[in-house]
Amino acid sequence: MITALDHIAIAVPDLDEAIKRFLEDFGLTYKGQEYVESQKTATAFFPLPETQIELVASPDGEGPIAKYIEKKGGGIHHLCFRTDDIHADVAMLKEKGYQFLSDAPGPGAHGCQVIFIHPKSCGGVLIELSQPGDDHH
């Protein structure tokens, strides 16, 4: 029985720089670093209260997922942070130099308003911000 999505891992060339991004720019809680000798790997964790896996596909062969599948055949595509004020967070992140893929949030899954940050301005990771709609439970 799988009970939780424990983590999504992002490979980064500079751990301190990446910690700064998620701690300072996105305001996540930082749990600390650990070097795992057996894997010769440094880790840093940012716990979040709940998460989901979203599978994304392109049934009609169009849109960004079609292009991604064509190029990479599949893989980890994006992280999505839930926000309770998408306009404020977009303004705050724009101020910090993040480049957004649209001027304003638009409709996402289950009535959310969503907007994406360009992976080029975010260490190679595509990040979505999502604000639940009024019908969200």
Ligand X SMILES: C[C@@H](C(=O)O)C(=O)SCCNC(=O)CCNC(=O)[C@H](O)C(C)(C)COP(=O)(O)OP(=O)(O)OC[C@H]1O[C@@H](n2cnc3c(N)ncnc32)[C@H](O)[C@@H]1OP(=O)(O)O
Nearer to ligand X, 36 or 53 (CB): 53
Question: Least distance in Å: CB of 78 to Co ion?
Answer: 6
Nearer to Co ion, 43 or 58 (CB): 58
Q: For residues 21 and 17, what is the distance between their CA atoms, to the nearest angstrom?
A: 6
Q: For residues 87 and 84, what is the distance between their CA atoms, to the nearest angstrom?
A: 9
- Applying the rule CB under 6 A, the residues between 67 and 126 that interact with ligand X are 67-68, 71, 77-78, 80, 101, 108-109, 112, 114, 116, 119, 124-126
Q: How many residues bind ligand X (CB under 6 A)?
A: 21
**33 phi and psi, to 5 degrees?**
-105, 155
Angle formed at CA 137 by CA 57 and CA 60, multiple of 5 degrees: 15
